[in-house]
Amino acid sequence: MIGRLNHVAIAVSDLAAATATYKNTLGAKVSEPESLPEHGVTVVFVELPNTKIELLQPLGEASPIAGFVAKNPAGGIHHLCYEVDDILKARDQLKASGARVLGDGEPKIGAHGKPVLFLHPKDFNGALVELEQA
């Protein structure tokens, strides 16, 4: 069902500082920051030859990652994103197997302009999983 690893997301309290670390210290190519109000985050993507790192900063106090950053002020891995060919088929198959889809279960458009869903971390060894339609 799952395809390649699309990205690893790291939640941070200071997006500019995190971006500078990847750009200046590690020499990585980074995108411009993009605010996604519908997801409550501002993101920067770090381009790697085989995947991406998504740096996430809360966008406002109601951000779904605000609590995570408050508990982890130095930042931390927030989720893993895997590609799937058909997000609705994947959702239905996962739900039939007992996995919990977060939210209302309907895909939302993610940072790459493609449908995404999140799966409950308790069903995946403590890891929050995002699925993105390839």
Tokens in use for 78? 């927030």
pLDDT of residue 6: 97
Rounded CA separation 33/23 (Å): 13
Q: Which of 54, 83, 130, 132 is catalytic?
A: 130
pLDDT of residue 70: 96
Q: pLDDT class for 55, splitting at 50, 70, 90? A: very high
Mean pLDDT of 95-110: 96
Is this structure's pTM higher than 0.85? yes
Arithmetic mean of pLDDT over the chain: 97
pLDDT of residue 10: 98
**Model pLDDT for residues 85-96, shown as the tens digit of each residue:** 999 999 999 999
pLDDT of residue 79: 98
**Three-state SS at 11:** strand
pLDDT of residue 30: 98
Domain carrying residue 26: 2-133
The tally of domains found in the chain comes to 1
pLDDT of residue 22: 98
Rounded CA separation 1/16 (Å): 36
Is 83 noted as a catalytic residue in this protein? no
pLDDT of residue 27: 97
Q: Which residues contact 53 (CB under 8 A, 6 or more apart)?
A: 7, 8, 9, 10, 22, 28, 45, 46
pLDDT of residue 43: 98
CATH code of 28's domain? 3.10.180.10
pLDDT of residue 67: 95
